C-alpha cells in the first residue's frame, strides 16, 4: 500500500486452502475506497495454502511449525500498520459492504475498543436436519438489527483498536484452539474496555458440503467440547462430572424425542466435555 492503511485485516490460517481461497476472494471484493491491507499468517500449513496465496494482493507470513491461531493473530497484529485491526477466520465469506460497515461502526462508537458484527452460519450441501431448537454447529452471533453494547465478540468477525492491544497485551498463545479469543475479550473487559456490536457489519461462517455432513460436524464438535472443558478448567469454573453426564443424557433424549440428527452434534460436544472431565 502506498498510503497509510486505515485498517489491517488479519487472517490466521492452517491447512484450509479451499476455505482460505473463498475468504480472500470475498475480501478482494470489498467495496471500501480507503487504503487498507490484508495480512495472512500461515500457521505451518502442509496443504496447498501457499498456492492459494499466489497472485493475491496480500502480505503473507508463515510460521514454520503450527503454533495455534492466537500465535498467528499476534504475528499479524505485530506487523500491521493501521490503528484499526480486523480479525477474521479463514472460513468466512464477507459481503462487499462488510469492511466499510465495520470501520464506520468504529467511527460511530469511539468509546468501544473492540467491535464485531453478526456471524451467520452457512452450511453448504445437505447438512443434517434440525428441529430448530439447536444452535448452529459453528460459531454465530446475532444481537439484533441495531448497534448496541456487547458482552462477548468472536474472532470470526472482530475489530480491535491497536491502542487496546497496547494497553491489554496480545492474545494468549497457550490457550486451546476453541475459546482462544474469549480470554482476551474478558481481559479487556476486566480493565474497563467496552465492546460494541455493529449490526450492519455481518458476514457468513462457512462449512462446505464435505464439512457440513453429520460425521464431520460431530468430530468437530467433539474437539470443541474437549477444548471448552479445558478452558473452563483453566478458569476454575468447571462443572462436576455428574453435571456433564446429565447434559450428555439430555442431548441423547433430545435426539430421540425430536428425531433430530443435529442432536447428535450436540451430544458429540457434550461427549468431548465428558472425555476431558474423566481425564482430569
Same-domain check for residues 115 and 160: yes
Q: Which residues pair with 85 in a beta bridge?
A: 8, 160
* 4's grid cell: 497509510
Q: What is the pLDDT of residues 183-218, one digit of tens each?
A: 899 999 999 999 999 999 999 999 999 998 989 989
Q: What is the pLDDT of residue 255?
A: 87
Same-domain check for residues 162 and 180: yes
Tell me whether residue 59 is in a domain. yes
**Residue 21 confidence (pLDDT) above 70:** yes
Q: What is the pLDDT of residues 95-128, one digit of tens each?
A: 999 999 999 999 999 999 999 999 999 999 988 8
Q: What is the pLDDT of residue 224?
A: 83
Q: What is the pLDDT of residues 123-147, one digit of tens each?
A: 999 888 877 777 788 889 999 999 9
Tell me whether residue 120 is in a domain. yes
Same-domain check for residues 40 and 165: yes
Same-domain check for residues 265 and 161: no
Whether this prediction's pTM lies above 0.85 is answered by yes
Range of the domain at 221: 214-279
Same-domain check for residues 131 and 196: yes
| CA gap 66, 60 in Å, rounded | 15
Same-domain check for residues 66 and 203: yes
Among the candidates 158, 189, 207, a domain finishes at 207
Same-domain check for residues 135 and 229: no
Among the candidates 161, 185, 207, a domain finishes at 207
Same-domain check for residues 197 and 237: no
Same-domain check for residues 154 and 47: yes
**Residue 18 confidence (pLDDT) above 60:** yes
How many domains does one find in the chain?
2
Q: Judge contact between 2 and 81, C-beta under 8 A.
A: no
- Strands of the chain (E only): list them: 7-13, 36-43, 59-63, 84-87, 92-93, 114-116, 119-123, 148-149, 158-161, 195-197, 203-207
**Residue 266 confidence (pLDDT) above 80:** yes
Q: What is the pLDDT of residue 136?
A: 81
Q: In what order do the strands lie in the sheet with 203-207?
A: 92-93, 203-207, 119-123
Same-domain check for residues 122 and 24: yes
Cβ contacts of 229 within 8 Å, gap of 6 or more:
238, 244, 272, 273, 275, 276, 277
Q: What is the pLDDT of residue 2?
A: 58
Q: Using alpha carbons, select from 4, 42, 45, 2 the residue that is nearest to residue 24.
A: 42
Q: What is the pLDDT of residue 77?
A: 97
Tell me whether residue 173 is in a domain. yes
Same-domain check for residues 182 and 223: no
Average pLDDT over residues 58-62: 96
Same-domain check for residues 76 and 195: yes
Tell me whether residue 1 is in a domain. no
Among the candidates 172, 207, 242, a domain finishes at 207
Amino acid at each position: 500500500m502506498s498510503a497509510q492503511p486505515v485498517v489491517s485485516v488479519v487472517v490466521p490460517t492452517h491447512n484450509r486452502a479451499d476455505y482460505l481461497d473463498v475468504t480472500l476472494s470475498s475480501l478482494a471484493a470489498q467495496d471500501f475506497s480507503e487504503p487498507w491491507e490484508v495480512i495472512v499468517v500461515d500457521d505451518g500449513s502442509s496443504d496447498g495454502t501457499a498456492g492459494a496465496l499466489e497472485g493475491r494482493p496480500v502480505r503473507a507470513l508463515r510460521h514454520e511449525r503450527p503454533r495455534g491461531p492466537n500465535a498467528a493473530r499476534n504475528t499479524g497484529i505485530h506487523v500491521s500498520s493501521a490503528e484499526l485491526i480486523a480479525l477474521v477466520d479463514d472460513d468466512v465469506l464477507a459481503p462487499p459492504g462488510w469492511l466499510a460497515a465495520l470501520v464506520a461502526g468504529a467511527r460511530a462508537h469511539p468509546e468501544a475498543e473492540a467491535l464485531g458484527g453478526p456471524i451467520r452460519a452457512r452450511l453448504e450441501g445437505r447438512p443434517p436436519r434440525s428441529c430448530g431448537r439447536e444452535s448452529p454447529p459453528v460459531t454465530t452471533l446475532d444481537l439484533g438489527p441495531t448497534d448496541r453494547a456487547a458482552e462477548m465478540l468472536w474472532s470470526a468477525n472482530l475489530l480491535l483498536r491497536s491502542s487496546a492491544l497496547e494497553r491489554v497485551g496480545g492474545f494468549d498463545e497457550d490457550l486451546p484452539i476453541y475459546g482462544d479469543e474469549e480470554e482476551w475479550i474478558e481481559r479487556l473487559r476486566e480493565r474497563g474496555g467496552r465492546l460494541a456490536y455493529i449490526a450492519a457489519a455481518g458476514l457468513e461462517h462457512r462449512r462446505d458440503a464435505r464439512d457440513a455432513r453429520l460425521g464431520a460436524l460431530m468430530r468437530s464438535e467433539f474437539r470443541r467440547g474437549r477444548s471448552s472443558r479445558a478452558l473452563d478448567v483453566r478458569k476454575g469454573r468447571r462443572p462436576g462430572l455428574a453435571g456433564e453426564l446429565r447434559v450428555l443424557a439430555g442431548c441423547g433424549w433430545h435426539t430421540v424425542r425430536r428425531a433430530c440428527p443435529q442432536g447428535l452434534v450436540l451430544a458429540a460436544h457434550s461427549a468431548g466435555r465428558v472425555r476431558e472431565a474423566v481425564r482430569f
